[in-house]
Structure 1
Amino acid sequence: MAGDDSSGFQAGQSGLIVRVPEAEPVVRAWRERLDPSARAGVPAHVTVLFPFLDESSVDDGVCAAVAEVIGRHRPFEVRFERCGRFPGSLYLVPEPGIPFVRLTEAIADRWPQHPPFGGRFDEVVPHLTIAQGQDDAVLEEVEAGLRDRLPVTGRVSSVDLMVHDGTGWRHRASFALR
């Protein structure tokens, strides 16, 4: 998932994401080269919560609870027209970002033992990671290569549960916004 230490993926880890298929044609080549989560099978996305529960804890009851929490939120339109940066990382900024923050907060409130990104950050910053672990020159090259291909727009209508099987990330379930 975006923003995490991708070299540390382990079997059984899970995360909740919003897929952004409309961004794939724009970011796929960059992500496959510069984002370890893409090489591990995670599509272009905005992370809702990572890490989430271990796969062994995800049963029908958990899925029903996730569906109930996600189902309290309405679908929304999103636009990505500019890039942002974290140290060593480049991402697309979703606008509006608040609906993503609300999804993250709702899931984190339901499962407080699983704060976003393990509690490493004070603020939830929604983002679609393109490159991580890169120097500024690489990030500038990527950003320049994206300028003429933005904006990307899409509709958010579901959240997906992804699980790492020891070799890559696999889709396990989808939960509809209503």
Structure 2
Amino acid sequence: MEDKDAQGFQAGHSGLIVTIPEAEPAVRAWRDRLDPSSRAGVPAHVTVLYPFLDASRIDQGVCAAVGELLGRHQSFEARFDHCGRFPGVLYLAPETDTHFRRLTEAIVERWPENPPFGGQFDDVIPHLTVAQGQDEVVLEEIEADLVTNLPIVTRVSSVDMLVHDGTLWRRRASFALSQARLRWWAAR
């Protein structure tokens, strides 16, 4: 018996994401209609790594290792200033994606048995999915709406671990990025 829900998400799957709450006003209505992950409880986000470990393998040791690894990375500002496309998919693209890529690379280096998206793509492009499975006319309509709300700027200071329970994605843990630079300025 296959243990999958209607959107194809499997119970026990986990992922690491950066939530982008500042994008919600611009993307929520579109995502709720046209992105299955939104209907399954995932907020506007950029994926760091999916799939990660099966939930049965995630214990305090794994969480401590993820936290220590991500804590080596500085928080950063992300600016989403344009839309991009994959076939049938519309997304918001960060102005620069270097910081997102470094987070993914660090996690994959530590857990190489979990390549991004199961190794499906040669180059993983950091993005915030807005709609998928749509034809060009629909994507053009959505993009015309979205560009009026750009840029969207956020401070990335943590990475969340989500686990699918068979129905919804739920946050299992949150890992802070380093705030060392901010603390140094605050201390002066």
Structure-to-structure mapping, 1:127-142, within 5 angstroms: 127-142=127-142
Question: Partner of 1:171: helix, strand, or coil?
Answer: strand
Instruction: State the partner residue of 2:182.
Output: none
AA partner of residue 80 (structure 1): F
Instruction: Look up the SS of the partner of 1:8 in the other structure.
Output: coil
The one-character-per-residue Cα deviations of 1:110-146 (angstroms, maximum 9, x if unpaired) are 0000000000001120000000111111100100111
**Residues 1:53 and 2:53 aligned together:** yes
| Alignment partners' CA distance in 2, 1:43 and 1:107 | 21
The question of whether the paired residues in 1 share the 8 Å contact of 2:81 and 2:93 is answered with: yes
Q: Normalised by the size of structure 1, how large is the TM-score? A: 0.96
Aligned twin of 1:24: 24
Q: Secondary structure at the match of 1:148?
A: helix
Larger Rg: 2
How far apart, CA to CA, are the structure 2 residues paired with 1:9 and 1:94? 26
**How far apart are the structure 1 equivalents of 2:137 and 2:163?**
33
Specify the alignment match of 2:38 in structure 1: 38
Is 1:103 matched up with 2:106? no
Tell me what 2:160 maps to.
Answer: 160
Matches within 5 A, 1:44-123: 44-123=44-123
Separation in 1 of the partners of 2:164 and 2:86? 25
Any idea what SS the aligned residue of 2:170 has? strand
* Percent of paired sites with the same residue: 71
d(CA) in 2 for partners of 1:110, 1:49: 12
Return the alpha-carbon distance in structure 1 between the equivalents of residues 168 and 16 of structure 2: 15
Q: CA deviation at 1:95?
A: 2.1
CA distance in 2, matches of 1:17, 1:46: 6
Gaps of 5+ in 1: 1-5
**Structure 2 contact 17–160 (Cα < 8 Å) conserved:** yes
Following the alignment from structure 2 to structure 1, what is the Cα–Cα distance between the partners of residues 81 and 96? 11
CA RMSD of the aligned region, Å?
0.9
CA distance in 1, matches of 2:150, 2:18: 19
Quick one: which amino acid aligns to residue 26 of structure 1? Answer: A
| Cα shift at 1:7 | 2.7
Equivalenced residues, count: 173
Q: Secondary structure at the match of 1:52?
A: coil
Aligned equivalents of 1:96, 1:73: Cα separation in 2: 16
Q: Distance in 1 between matches of 2:133 and 2:7?
A: 11
Q: Distance in 1 between matches of 2:85 and 2:115?
A: 22
